[in-house]
Structure 1
Amino acid sequence: MSSSETSQPGPQTGFVTHEVFNQSEPRVGVNEYLANGPLQEAVAAFGAAQATDELTRFGATVGSAEYQEWARLANDHGPVLRTHDRWGHRIDEVEFHPSYHQLMSTSMAQGLHAAPWAPDAAAYAHTARAAAFMMANQIEPGHCCPISMTYAVVPSLRTQPDLAAIWEPRVHGRAYSAELADPATKPAITFGMAMTEKQGGSDVRANTTRAVPVGAGGPGEEYRITGHKWFCSAPMSDAFLVLARVSESDTAPSCFLVPRILPDGTRNGIRIQRLKNKLGNKSNASSEVEYVGASGWLVGEVGRGVRTIIEMVSHTRLDCVIGGAGGMRQGVAEALWHARHRSAFGALLVDQPVMTGVLADLALDSEAATYTALRLAQAHEPGAGEHDQLLRRIATPVAKYWVCKRGPQHAYESLECLGGNGYTEDFPLARRYREAPVLAVWEGSGNVIALDVLRAMQREPQAFEAFLDELRLASGENSRFDDHVVRVADDIARMRELPDPTTARLLTERMALGLQASLLLRHAPQPVGDAFVETRLSPSRGLQYGALPHAFDAAKVIERH
């Protein structure tokens, strides 16, 4: 039979069964800043409007098809540990797909790792950085881990001025280099941290890692560190903050700066035992490590490691809130994109009332998280007044608890809006769903955060007064909200008199909802603030997204997203 004969269709091939229709196009080529009305409004509301042009450029970058392909590849081809080279030499290196390095390079060129700490940083630098960091997290959160830790390390470094004078200038560079080399020779460096151990987890006072002074010892001096860490975030970083005990009698650990490569070019005594096989966060390497006489330099006083590192923890908790807001934004953006391009039962999904309600409900949480993240970033600006300094002490853990707890359910409901497509790894929301829980675990799980809030009630009552003052800025805007603030104030007063750990989570949740409602009532259009109050503070509210107690103009809420 000739080739021409074989190419002729037979009667049975007269129908085309694989024509694709009623499917959305890929959501690429979208400027993630200009497409996000609430983010733009929050940037302006919290004093960073001058960063609009810069944020618009970055929004175009992260919304490009190329950037999203980097995100896919970095997650599909995760990091691989190489403990030895082919000849048997111990190397302890982590190998990444080239796309991961592209993501790191883009974020560091934007200054997401350090720009707010630069000597010439703008007064709104933390707020502008929060907006850009949120957009990076929206598309690819895994690489944001080392970016976040590098950003957060600077306040802890500054507690030891002689070390900060050496290391902080290295942080400020924006030219990413993946090379394993002496940090002094690199154009920019990244930091990680290693605090928790097998036997202790969040209870770092149970740590057994030891540090022995090389000489007389003391702040800024060299020690030899031996021990293990159950979680070392981003083991490919250039240096780490590590907790270790100086003596058996220490009741608390000390903080040390431990570089990967020593000034003489030799590798420090850091042994990567394995990479964690995580539920999500696949593009990022998390590891177990052992220190074998590793050189480290004491940061701060002996036995004061937790206090030294607490500012780093505060800023990484801030980044958890920002990352949670970015995750919610991705869920809303993808769900809305699908609903606007998919028809069912004679109408676009976005116009089906029950779907409109779900989308609007998801959008309310996304908007609330966005305003919360940027308000917290504003409170972390170096020029922040006393009110903001007190506010951030309480509002940061409160917001971290709630936004990160809402993340997994928000990701699931967003995924469900795509139906079967959402459940496949070909669409980004399956990856988001696996990613979401890490933010609730990282830098203090729910119980740790709630107990932190409880302890602060006894030790820092003035911070709670600042928190209540922040809520009361929206007094008179909505009677149901006013009632909620009164209840929160009463709950705080009772908790101070008789601390009850069993209700710490409930109070933290109520505080978080009060903060979000206050921000939306003050800064978002009235229908948005009122809808948030009715769907979050009403006694008749539902327990699932879209289970709405009252009708509201859902289309108006959706338009902003």
Structure 2
Amino acid sequence: MDTHDVLNQPERADPRDPWADDPVLQDHLTAQKGIPQEAFGRAIVELDAWALGDAARRHPPEAQIFDRTGRRRDRVTFHPAYHRLMTLGLEAGYAAGPWTGGRHTTHAAQVYLMSQVEPGICCPLTMTYAAIPALHGPLAEAWAPKLTTRGYDPSEKPIEDKAAATLGMAMTEKQGGSDVRANTTRADPDGDAWRLTGHKWFCSAPMSDGFLTLAQTDHGLTCFLVPRWLPDGPNAIRLMRLKDKLGNKANASAEIEYDDALAYQLGEEGRGVATIIEMVHHTRLDTAMAPAGLMRAALAEAHWWAAHRTAFQRKLIDQPLMRSVLADLTLDWEGATALGLRVAAAFDDPDQRPFARIAVALAKYLSNKRCPAVTVEAMEVLGGMGYIEETPMPMLYREAPLNGIWEGSGNIICLDILRTLHREPDAAEALTAELAAATGADRRYDIALEAHEARWSGGIEEAEARLFAERTATLLTASVLIRTAPPATADGYVATRLNADRGLTSGAVTGLDTGGVLDRLGPV
């Protein structure tokens, strides 16, 4: 420039490789016997998926409720970048893999990687993945083969004419939110099918080929599958508007109405919540894993900036206080990643079903509570630059709260944890065994676990559910790290999370092996 030289403004020459540059993912995926995701990471780079994600967000979906003649269209249009990312995820087996000979651990790694690129795409992919185990009988015979096809077919056709399909969800209503038993949508019998009438406040991925939904019959709340297209044309699903959300801009979330829409019963009449719980169980795995991916993306930016930016005659990464902050944040990220992949491994083993049931809720709670704090601290590392939309930081900041709200906000999750431990003794036993598996390696952990068990031996009051969930999840994370992470990470996590010698803010710690912990961030 004529007026000045541009100095001390680091500039990335190439997109980072989300697999090759991430020793934490590689190590913990190997520890949980997951399939390496090198090919998926390479595909992200080769496709320049970050640019596609940026385009999909800058050109968000648009609702076409009517056409120019005034006839209803009830459709959503997307930028081509959205479709390319959907193709990337579905062809890689994000939704189909665990149901076609793959592993949930591999799926969890794909959630982690895709969340760093474009989190909004994860919603329709996750819904499709999670809906498959909820299907059974004739509905499974008709839908499962299309849902488990490694391909993407966005055409508007009945399910029997599709090469591949996706499935969404429409559960909550204005008056109930998480209390779905307050739903008022009505289902009336129509031969072997039903007709639904009512309003849904949140419909995830409204351009899906069908939706799992809840409606009231004479016998109570019942689960249904509502196809979007019928052999003679569109079903009576009315698109009211798209939600104007804080983030998740590339994904269309909508309000819809069923206007005598054709639907098929799924599960026992009056047992809708019990039927849908299998889908919720699997979506929780993704909402536990996605915040780890968001934290990774934020820390990758902060680490790169600190390694190349100079202040007060030293690189930021060489300054002791900055190293403490970054190391402390790294412990949150590696803890979330390790716990998420450990939970995913339990999904792969039918014998560990009780542990998966309780551990996925604990992982979802703690990881999502840490994600916004980690993201905002990482943004602060970049200073004013981190507040600029041309960096990934604002997008990551807006995404950080989402998974903590989706599929049960904090209080819902904590109460579910208490119910599970009370009603399912095998889940409580599995959790106790997992916590005990790390004893003997670090006396500080043993002391913390003993104190925890003594503190809650007399029962847990509902008002204390968050305290119990946080401390249990923290111990569970420490247990996993002690057994699978390098000494600097395991020691740092135990010292700063299980002892009282730390402040309320990130970096307010002492005694960390910052060099050993920061090595986990990978190359810059």
Query: TM-score, length-normalised on structure 1?
Result: 0.91
Equivalent residue number for residue 7 of structure 2: 21
**Matched residue SS, 2:229:** coil
**Matched residue SS, 2:76:** strand
Matched, 1:489 2:453: yes
Aligned counterpart for 1:150 among listed residues 96, 118, 128: 128
Aligned counterpart for 1:328 among listed residues 277, 283, 295: 295
Equivalent residue number for residue 502 of structure 1: 463
Aligned counterpart for 2:108 among listed residues 130, 142, 146: 130
Matched, 1:392 2:356: yes
Alpha-carbon distance between aligned partners in 2 of 1:90 and 1:65, rounded to the nearest angstrom = 36
Alpha-carbon distance between aligned partners in 1 of 2:330 and 2:271, rounded to the nearest angstrom = 43
Aligned-pair Cα RMSD in Å: 1.3
Matched, 1:350 2:317: yes
Quote the offset at 1:64 in angstroms.
5.0
Equivalent residue number for residue 6 of structure 1: none
After superposition, the C-alpha distances for 1:156-213 in whole angstroms (9 at most, x for unaligned) are 11xx322101110010112212222222222211111011100111001101101111
Equivalent residue number for residue 191 of structure 1: 167
Q: What are the within-5 Å matches in structure 2 for residues 47-446 of structure 1?
A: 47-48=33-34, 51-52=35-36, 55-63=37-45, 66-118=48-100, 121-122=101-102, 125-157=103-135, 160-215=136-191, 221-247=192-218, 250=219, 252-262=220-230, 264-381=231-348, 383-385=349-351, 388-446=352-410
Quote the offset at 1:18 in angstroms.
4.3
Equivalent residue number for residue 33 of structure 1: 19
Equivalent residue number for residue 556 of structure 1: 516
Alpha-carbon distance between aligned partners in 1 of 2:166 and 2:457, rounded to the nearest angstrom = 43
- Answer yes or no: is the 8 Å Cα contact 1:28–1:65 preserved in 2: no
Alpha-carbon distance between aligned partners in 1 of 2:27 and 2:491, rounded to the nearest angstrom = 17
Alpha-carbon distance between aligned partners in 2 of 1:137 and 1:526, rounded to the nearest angstrom = 28
The residue identity in structure 1 corresponding to 2:206 is P
Alpha-carbon distance between aligned partners in 1 of 2:494 and 2:227, rounded to the nearest angstrom = 49
Matched, 1:479 2:431: no
- Answer yes or no: is the 8 Å Cα contact 1:476–1:482 preserved in 2: yes
4+ residue runs over 4 A deviation:
none
Alpha-carbon distance between aligned partners in 1 of 2:452 and 2:499, rounded to the nearest angstrom = 15
Alpha-carbon distance between aligned partners in 1 of 2:45 and 2:432, rounded to the nearest angstrom = 38
- Answer yes or no: is the 8 Å Cα contact 2:108–2:285 preserved in 1: no
**Matched residue SS, 1:253:** strand
The residue identity in structure 2 corresponding to 1:378 is A
Quote the offset at 1:553 in angstroms.
1.4
Quote the offset at 1:384 in angstroms.
3.2
**Matched residue SS, 2:292:** helix
- Answer yes or no: is the 8 Å Cα contact 1:30–1:60 preserved in 2: no
Aligned length: 521
Quote the offset at 1:378 in angstroms.
0.7
Alpha-carbon distance between aligned partners in 2 of 1:393 and 1:302, rounded to the nearest angstrom = 24
Query: Which stretch of the first structure deviates more once superposed, 29-38 or 98-107?
Result: 29-38
Quote the offset at 1:511 in angstroms.
0.7
**Matched residue SS, 1:19:** coil
- Give the gaps of 5 or more residues in structure 1: 1-14, 216-220
- Answer yes or no: is the 8 Å Cα contact 2:331–2:493 preserved in 1: yes
Alpha-carbon distance between aligned partners in 1 of 2:17 and 2:227, rounded to the nearest angstrom = 38
- Answer yes or no: is the 8 Å Cα contact 2:15–2:48 preserved in 1: no
Alpha-carbon distance between aligned partners in 2 of 1:27 and 1:77, rounded to the nearest angstrom = 25
Quote the offset at 1:418 in angstroms.
0.7
After superposition, the C-alpha distances for 1:2-41 in whole angstroms (9 at most, x for unaligned) are xxxxxxxxxxxxx832432211223743221111101101
Equivalent residue number for residue 526 of structure 1: 487
Aligned counterpart for 1:515 among listed residues 473, 476, 481: 476
Q: Could you say if the C-alpha distance between residues 18 and 283 of structure 1 is closer, same or farther in structure 2, counting changes exceeding 3 Å?
A: farther
Quote the offset at 1:65 in angstroms.
7.4
Query: Which stretch of the first structure deviates more once superposed, 24-33 or 412-421?
Result: 24-33
Alpha-carbon distance between aligned partners in 2 of 1:269 and 1:18, rounded to the nearest angstrom = 62
Alpha-carbon distance between aligned partners in 2 of 1:489 and 1:130, rounded to the nearest angstrom = 30
- Answer yes or no: is the 8 Å Cα contact 1:378–1:384 preserved in 2: no
The residue identity in structure 2 corresponding to 1:560 is R
- Answer yes or no: is the 8 Å Cα contact 2:216–2:222 preserved in 1: yes
The residue identity in structure 2 corresponding to 1:399 is A
- Answer yes or no: is the 8 Å Cα contact 2:18–2:113 preserved in 1: yes
Alpha-carbon distance between aligned partners in 2 of 1:439 and 1:487, rounded to the nearest angstrom = 31
The residue identity in structure 2 corresponding to 1:145 is C
Alpha-carbon distance between aligned partners in 1 of 2:13 and 2:425, rounded to the nearest angstrom = 47
Query: TM-score, length-normalised on structure 2?
Result: 0.97
Q: Could you say if the C-alpha distance between residues 442 and 111 of structure 1 is closer, same or farther in structure 2, counting changes exceeding 3 Å?
A: same
Alpha-carbon distance between aligned partners in 1 of 2:279 and 2:420, rounded to the nearest angstrom = 18
